[in-house]
Structure 1
Amino acid sequence: MSDTVIRVENLSKKYTIGHQQEKGYTTLRESIVKQTKGLLQPFQKHQSKHHNYEEEFWALKDVSFEIKQGDRVGIIGRNGAGKSTLLKILSRITEPTKGRIQIKGRVASLLEVGTGFHPELTGRENIYLNGAILGMSKVEIKHKFDEIVAFAEVEKFLDTPVKRYSSGMYVRLAFAVAAHLEPEILIVDEVLAVGDGQFQKKCIGKMEDVGKEGRTVLFVSHNMATVTTLCERTIWLMNGKVYQEGQASSITSKYLIHGSVTSGIVILETCNQDARFYFKRISLLNVECEITSIFDVKQPIKVCLEYASNHIFNNLELTIKIFNSNGMVIFTVNRSASLKQEIHNGQYISEICFPGLFLMPDIYTIDIDAHIPNVEILAHHQSVISFEIEETGSHLAIYRGSDCGMIFVDFPWQEHSLTKTQNN
């Protein structure tokens, strides 16, 4: 395999899903009567109202790729695309139905909080247990022990059974063990979302270090900014197949705008939303009040949100979040910044205008949500609509292709001469 450490060839995984169909609606009374008759007439054949059948579901279908030593590879895709199934097969947790994989080196996997931990054992005991599973000697584990504990920040709870750990403590220790016990291949499935922001940065830094040391990292995440920061390559799964793969920044940009409506208007289905509050429509308008998804960099963009409330809310917050093509959040704006938080029964349209010469030319996506802060989320729509800002002659147009940041700024300058003019 030379420097190839993972080779996947025509990998497929099938699951069998059982279904039960029932003719008509059966009440509790009918069920009891049926069971009683069955006891009284054990030899009588009863015609069943239930019809069982099985359905095949292919979580993965003919997946092939290669990963070389030291690669940091992101695995992306919508829910149900097959990401977790792929990682479970690579981690030897699940057997494939077809195809084969070749792996060269020790694999450490962190697929969900607490993977590989025994709940009754203490943090100290689990560190040694995981090291033993990876084939390390007690001396090797002891050499890394202090570094693991310091990274996880669980010194005070080291001799406490991990079943008493919070989810944050659990994931900190699990990641520290997986990353520090020197596996040749580290597989991480978006468990970092459990940790706080500071810990997530530590994890990303550690995974970068792992790659620089010549070890391989596979990272599954829905956060495209993190994938772009950490990974050099990205594999995009869709419906159990490899849809695209290539340079991380290019693939994540395509992923973000894929499936987003670019006509400038989206009508949202109300049947699957909370009856108390739901979004009906989002539309984007240019300076001529025309619905569009392409805007002149010098012109403003108006965002119109149409929604309905069947309840009186005293502290409901509406949020618009803007992402660039790399998946980074550019800014977030809340309705309460300009309007009162009280919302009564009725139909509403809220509008907000982004000025011209504000966002850099790029492709952007919008998330919208309605929530009661620190209580509940009533509606949330990811990548609900996308739009593009075109360079049409801004003052930075001569630097086309250069990284000039994410927003335009035009702060006033002042200049004072420090050279005195001498008269002859």
Structure 2
Amino acid sequence: MSRSEVAITVEELSKRYKLGLMHAGSIRELVNGVTDRLLGRRQEQRVDATEFWALRDINFSVQEGEVVGLIGRNGAGKSTLLKILSRITKPTTGRARIHGRVGSLLEVGTGFHPELTGRENIYLNGTMLGMSTREISRKLDQIIDFSEIEKFIDTPVKRYSSGMYVRLAFAVAAHLEPEVLIVDEVLAVGDSVFQKKCIGKMQEVGTEGRTVLFVSHNMGAVKQLCSRAILLEHGQVVTEGRVNDVVNRYLLGATECDSQGWIPHDQVRTGTGEARIRRVQLLGEQGDVATETLLGQRLHVRLDVEVLEDIPDAHFEIGVYSEDGIAVAVTHRDIDCDVDKLPVGNLVVDAEVDVPLLPGRYRIGAAVYRDSGYTIDGLERTVGFEVARYGKDHARPYRWGEVRGYVRPETKWAVSGAAVSQRTLVNKQVK
């Protein structure tokens, strides 16, 4: 790879933060501190600092015209890396070199002056990219049209909603012709139609020979947009390469529990917390933990739940998700209980889920929630499993090379016409 072909070069890059805790001290120290402040004296403060390495020894390069996905779990270091590449923060060690102008769309609130109007911020951003007023004016109508906020373009952006802000920010970043476009997960703020519009624009940018670095938790969007991906874990690059290979590695390694289904204590959850799902298991026919099911086989899901407070109106939810995070099937169950509330203690919930999944990789999600719809405890990514291409005793294998869709519904077919006698065909599930 020649140096002229490289758009981004990252070498031995590390970023360290110090997490400090100031001592309150004794009452005497507190009184003396107040006196010192009143008299204008300098105060000596004791601070305990612990080091946190957000990034450690990062190395990679991106060629001109590549569209590369940067993926990893929350806290992996993705946003820190993008801030360094966007020159918002500096690395502790190592260096990052970018050839050409950089347009970046990071978290909402970055890059625009809140007191300026949308139009004024377009010119401000263009100027920061080194563009002349004439160059910016030539792109102005395209930016406004793409953002779809023409009515508010002369309103200060501090009055914009998050969705309006993202629309304009993306339009500015994509249309002011940066050589390198950096886009963070902020597309999740916009509606689905606008997200598709943004993905289409990024594909267009890539075909024009410009470089795109795209961060997302939506693996479907990453695979649709990118040809290559980089996986970060705990601030380090663990693998990079073809997008399908890296995404599969991420999804297989992103199981939020151990081999027996126990959920780690630091797992990110949603909900109010009166109950906790401690373990999620997929069980085989013999009651053992399974990582594969046969084509047409029911799913036996078991939840271990710890109830921390009495809950009067609790219900369970189990979901099956594709490797791209698409909800394939979600089922709910009221808790059958002799009392009118779920009492404090540990319980086991078993569910037989009859969903005719097609071959592929899936994950199980689980939740406890209230009648009102409020989540008590929710986990979107727990155990992963694979549906084989054949049924029990290898009966009725899936005969198509490409798997399209996620489920095979039972269907009645009627074929009639002059050349055939009428008959009814039924697709039945493999049992």
- Report TM bin, short chain: 0.7 to 0.9
For structure 1, list consecutive stretches of 5 or more residues without a partner in the other structure: 42-49
Secondary structure of the residue that 2:90 maps to in structure 1? Answer: coil
Contact 1:317 / 1:335 at 8 angstroms: preserved in 2?
yes
1:51 is displaced (CA, Å) by 5.8
1:373 is displaced (CA, Å) by 8.2
Secondary structure of the residue that 2:223 maps to in structure 1? Answer: helix
Per-residue displacement from partner, 1:339-376 (whole Å, max 9, x unpaired)? 89x972326544332337x1122222222233458874
RMSD between superposed Cα atoms in Å: 3.3
Secondary structure of the residue that 1:177 maps to in structure 2? Answer: helix
Contact 1:275 / 1:310 at 8 angstroms: preserved in 2?
no
Distance 1:394 1:183 in 2: 56
Contact 1:270 / 1:278 at 8 angstroms: preserved in 2?
no
1:3 is displaced (CA, Å) by 1.7
1:305 is displaced (CA, Å) by 2.5
Normalization by structure 1: what TM-score? 0.84
Q: 1:138 to 1:318 in 2, by over 3 A?
A: farther
The residue correspondences of 1:142-153 to structure 2 (distance < 5 A) are: 142-153=137-148
Q: 1:138 to 1:40 in 2, by over 3 A?
A: closer
Contact 1:297 / 1:394 at 8 angstroms: preserved in 2?
no
1:381 is displaced (CA, Å) by 2.1
Aligned to 1:173: 168
For structure 2, list consecutive stretches of 5 or more residues without a partner in the other structure: 37-44, 422-431
Contact 2:315 / 2:332 at 8 angstroms: preserved in 1?
yes
Secondary structure of the residue that 2:74 maps to in structure 1? Answer: coil
Distance 1:68 1:142 in 2: 30
Distance 1:411 1:51 in 2: 72
1:251 is displaced (CA, Å) by 1.2
Question: Aligned to 2:103, which of 93, 100, 108?
Answer: 108
Q: 1:80 to 1:320 in 2, by over 3 A?
A: same
Contact 1:309 / 1:343 at 8 angstroms: preserved in 2?
no
1:153 is displaced (CA, Å) by 1.6
Contact 1:268 / 1:279 at 8 angstroms: preserved in 2?
no
Contact 2:318 / 2:364 at 8 angstroms: preserved in 1?
yes
Contact 1:112 / 1:189 at 8 angstroms: preserved in 2?
yes
Distance 1:66 1:367 in 2: 36
1:394 is displaced (CA, Å) by 5.5
Distance 1:124 1:207 in 2: 22
Per-residue displacement from partner, 1:53-111 (whole Å, max 9, x unpaired)? 33332221211111111111111112221111111111111122222222111100111
Distance 2:329 2:106 in 1: 31
Aligned to 1:266: 262
Secondary structure of the residue that 1:360 maps to in structure 2? Answer: coil
Deviates more, 1:320-329 or 1:60-69: 320-329
Aligned to 2:14: 12
Aligned to 2:414: 414
Aligned to 2:42: none
Per-residue displacement from partner, 1:159-183 (whole Å, max 9, x unpaired)? 1111111111111111111111111
Aligned to 1:310: 309
Aligned to 1:354: 353
Secondary structure of the residue that 2:414 maps to in structure 1? Answer: coil
Per-residue displacement from partner, 1:178-209 (whole Å, max 9, x unpaired)? 11111111101111111122221221121111
The residue correspondences of 1:376-387 to structure 2 (distance < 5 A) are: 376-387=374-385
Distance 2:322 2:247 in 1: 11
* Counterpart amino acid of residue 198 in structure 2: C
1:5 is displaced (CA, Å) by 0.9
Contact 1:320 / 1:366 at 8 angstroms: preserved in 2?
yes
Share of identical aligned residues, percent? 44
Contact 2:147 / 2:167 at 8 angstroms: preserved in 1?
yes
Contact 2:218 / 2:324 at 8 angstroms: preserved in 1?
no
* Counterpart amino acid of residue 345 in structure 1: L
Contact 2:112 / 2:121 at 8 angstroms: preserved in 1?
yes
Aligned to 2:365: 367
Deviates more, 1:152-161 or 1:96-105: 96-105
1:203 matches 2:213? no
Contact 2:389 / 2:397 at 8 angstroms: preserved in 1?
no
1:345 matches 2:342? yes
Per-residue displacement from partner, 1:370-395 (whole Å, max 9, x unpaired)? 34588743322242212222233354
Q: 1:205 to 1:270 in 2, by over 3 A?
A: closer
